[in-house]
A and B are shown apart, each in its own frame.
Chain A
């Protein structure tokens, strides 16, 4: 039975986390049908074949160019029915997660979000999800025939397996009732590496002393092809935009490498970063709690260490 995968695009490209969702479904055993909503380049959709999608449904209606939660949930629920698929896989995101909830409610599916690994099907269908904001995991059996699985970054390995997917237009009837929410405008950074998608994150805290010093963080991020993040006080004070705030009450990241500069390592900050593969901490206080959660640490003044580190990284390329 086919597994349906909802893929999201940003700036015309399928998001990395959505590619992982395709890889996840493929690793589950497929066959995989992906579905994209709104304007996306056909070549991008065909390329989903590389990660294991056989078929891609493209719901092109211009009304779907905007991510309206209700409308997306209706289209995905309809597609599950049309494809006779029991399982929907998607990436946790600001759109994916709320859409997953509505699809589950609409179809009567069991829902699991923040899933971090492939399901264990030895007996039943058991997924492992992150709970207590990264402080623990729960193994949960999804008993219903229908399932909606929202995965976190790195839940599946991005392996190239296939070739080209067949893209077909998908034109479900859309009800006006699903479009009562209007998106009037969008403010979005362009050309930036998005925090939840990034393999490397460089984050700054109050130790950076002020927004005028963020050039140091940005330079390092540029060298590392990293996204930039920050601690909560930094976004509270308006030094950085809110969407860069990492932690318990902000974005939860799981990159390969997290570099924390001038961040003390409060438990609420750690909650957002503790599933990073490798953590580097730069802090002038040798007793900063963050060092206990780090893999590598440098005790030093950020204003001295950052330029040196940036040069060393550039030199190593």
Chain B
């Protein structure tokens, strides 16, 4: 089986988010970038499948040269090779179009990605790729087993989960607990340096959206502390001041 794993290069979950240029540009200073946590689950599951079924795992990222350390990390975790589509990922549709193009050309059976990126949180790329390729897309997937050409999945729904079956090829947007995150070991890190990373030009795609500006939420006011011996006061405040009861 040929597995394609889509990884985004996103600010670490502990990052403070700031903008520059009149709130029109993300400020990367002091920000550490990581493989999206959901994409990391997808990658971990792909590596497990590689080991159990003898598959190959290719990672793909749509991004400019600064994403390469993130891609190398995915190779260190165990992917066999990588594709970087050299472009700014302007929106979900653009990213999906690039992924669909390579997924088709490379004849991948299983396309795994995160349920959503943690920068734009659209939760859209899997659906768009599925639609572009005319194959099923299932998300958010918390369990995925491959049996021949049949894929059995558990999809999280509000208040529980549903069990879903479909045949390859398909796209899945992953989340925990599909697999445990994997940490690269020394051998992985060494071998990642020489694994193939192909850089390709992006296909031109019109974007239907345009960013106008970013905005940070207003700072939080000071917390009001209430004594543990006077919980009645909290009830009064919730009722009369916050008006949420």
Contact = CB atoms under 8 A, between A and B. Distances in A.
B94 to A, nearest CB: 12
B96 A137 contact: no
A186 B211 CA distance: 39
Contacts of A274: 217
Contacts of B92: 101, 111
Interface residues of A, number: 96
A113 B117 CA distance: 12
A13 interface: no
Interface of A is mostly: mixed
A108 to B, nearest CB: 8
A207 interface: no
A113 B121 contact: yes
B119 A102 contact: no
Residue among B120, B121, B158 with the most chain A CB within 10 A?
B158
A111 B138 contact: no
Contact of B221 (A182, A277, A295, A297): A295
A139 B158 contact: no
Given A105-B93, A111-B93, A185-B163, A98 B223 contact: no
A280 interface: yes
Given A69-B136, A297-B226, A242 B122 contact: no
Contacts of B232: 312, 315-316
Contacts of B120: 131, 138
Contact of A296 (B124, B208, B217, B237): B237
A280 B231 CA distance: 12
B158 A195 contact: yes
B200 interface: no
Interface of B is mostly: mixed
Interface stretch (B13-21, B45-53, B63-71): B13-21
B186 interface: no
A138 B164 contact: no
Contacts of A316: 232, 235-236, 239, 245
B164 A182 contact: yes
Contact of B131 (A73, A113, A196): A73
A312 B244 contact: no
A249 B130 contact: no
Contacts of B78: none
B124 A305 contact: no
A180 B166 contact: yes
B234 interface: yes
B227 A73 contact: no
A134 B126 CA distance: 21
A137 B160 contact: no
Interface in B210-240: 210-217, 220-221, 223-228, 231-232, 234-239
11 contacts: A69-B139, A101-B128, A105-B128, A105-B131, A111-B92, A132-B119, A136-B19, A141-B210, A187-B163, A242-B176, A297-B226
- State the 3 A-B residue pairs at the shortest beta-carbon distance, nearest first: A101-B127, A300-B228, A110-B208
